[in-house]
Structure 1
Amino acid sequence: MTNLNTFNFDQMGSEKEGKPITTSLKVAEYFGRDHKSVLRSIRMLDCSKEFTLAHFCTHVQSIAIGNGATKESKVYEMDFQGFMFLVMGFTGKKAAKIKEAYINAFDWMYEQISNINNSYMEILNKAMLQFKQEQSIASYAGRTLRQWQDSKPVLESKINEIASKAQLKLELANGHYH
């Protein structure tokens, strides 16, 4: 599997409220695009209004336009989900690198979940086997206990009868043993 670190979001991101974010300016810089083309790409995303509201927000910011001059421009701030949705539509080596890292991360995550599920299934199978074995032993013990309860009085009676017959009986006649 390819190394998961082929793309590091930290190269172009920052943190806000404990979550990674980036801006349309940083995306433009990283991908070597004009900021206005990144803004156009964001506006043309075919995602739902709910997704857009959850993962993109805009503000106005002064940006450099060359020769020390600046102008006010709309800038999008986006979280990782918004960033990935945007970048999935990009082409080129850098976009391919990000897509590959994302796919590798997804494969790694799937492998981890599968390993956990397999471990739980193995533990579950062992527990079920132990349950069935002990259930079988308990069932056998229950049947033999019932047989014992039925045969015990018969055997005790037989033992007592044989024991009483086996006792020597000495008859005393006129005080003498015969």
Structure 2
Amino acid sequence: MSELILNDADFQQMVMADQGKVVTTSLRVAAYFGRAHKAVLRKIANMKCSPEFNRRNFALVEYLDAKGEQRPMYEMTKDGFMFVAMGLTGEKADQIKERFIDAFNWMADQLLQRAMSYDHIRNELMLEYRQEKGIASLAGRTLQRWQIKKPAIENRIMTIERDGQYRLFSA
């Protein structure tokens, strides 16, 4: 059997980010594994996992089908997907499992990079803010100093100019 090779766009079709978590849906699992969606729904509903595991890894939601009608589907985490996919067998199923795992990991990396990029940009902005605040503070202090010294310096300039004028006329 030929190896199934997927790229980033394919991964985006397999998994998605939902409130910072990487998830997929029972619809996507059914499509990629070539199973009927109702069979995947039944498999999830009949699993014998603990209620805590079920609550952490599966969320029953609704979607609009092609006719515009509300239908049930599950959103599931990577662990939820693994639990469901363990029961699917065959060489093609094994390849699909591997690709889903790659897709989950890829999306987790994307979210991490986005978070790191956000932190980097935020840190640079905070540094710029502090620098500009320091400059403004220094400028404020030097402006205040100038306002105090300016009249005295202007008086000395006027005195020296006046004295210079007297010397020119008296010489």
2:60 corresponds, among 54, 61, 68, to: 54
Aligned mates of 1:44, 1:145 — CA distance in 2: 74
| CA deviation vs aligned residue, 1:40-77 (integer Å, no higher than 9, x gap) | x964522439758938xxxxxxxxxxxxxxxxxxxxx9
Aligned mates of 1:44, 1:10 — CA distance in 2: 20
What is residue 125 of structure 2 aligned with on the other side?
Answer: 127
RMSD: 4.2
What is residue 69 of structure 2 aligned with on the other side?
Answer: none
What is residue 155 of structure 1 aligned with on the other side?
Answer: 153
Amino acid paired to 1:23: K
Which structure has the bigger radius of gyration? 1
Structure 1 unmatched ranges of 5 or more: 15-21, 28-37, 56-76, 172-176
More helix by proportion, 1 or 2? Answer: 2
List aligned pairs for 1:135-146, cutoff 5 A: 135-146=133-144
Cα gap change, 1:87/1:153 in structure 2, threshold over 3 Å: closer, same or farther? same
Amino acid paired to 1:54: L
| Alignment TM-score, normalising by the size of structure 1 | 0.52
More strand by proportion, 1 or 2? Answer: 1
For the residue of structure 1 that corresponds to 2:106, the secondary structure is helix
Structure 2 unmatched ranges of 5 or more: 15-27, 62-71
Aligned mates of 1:93, 1:102 — CA distance in 2: 14
Cα gap change, 1:140/1:86 in structure 2, threshold over 3 Å: closer, same or farther? same
Residue identity over aligned pairs, in percent, reads 34
Cα gap change, 1:169/1:100 in structure 2, threshold over 3 Å: closer, same or farther? closer
What is residue 3 of structure 1 aligned with on the other side?
Answer: 6
Aligned mates of 2:129, 2:122 — CA distance in 1: 10
Q: Larger relative contact order (C-alpha < 8 A, sep ≥ 6)?
A: 2
Figure out how many residues of one structure are paired with residues of the other and give that number: 131
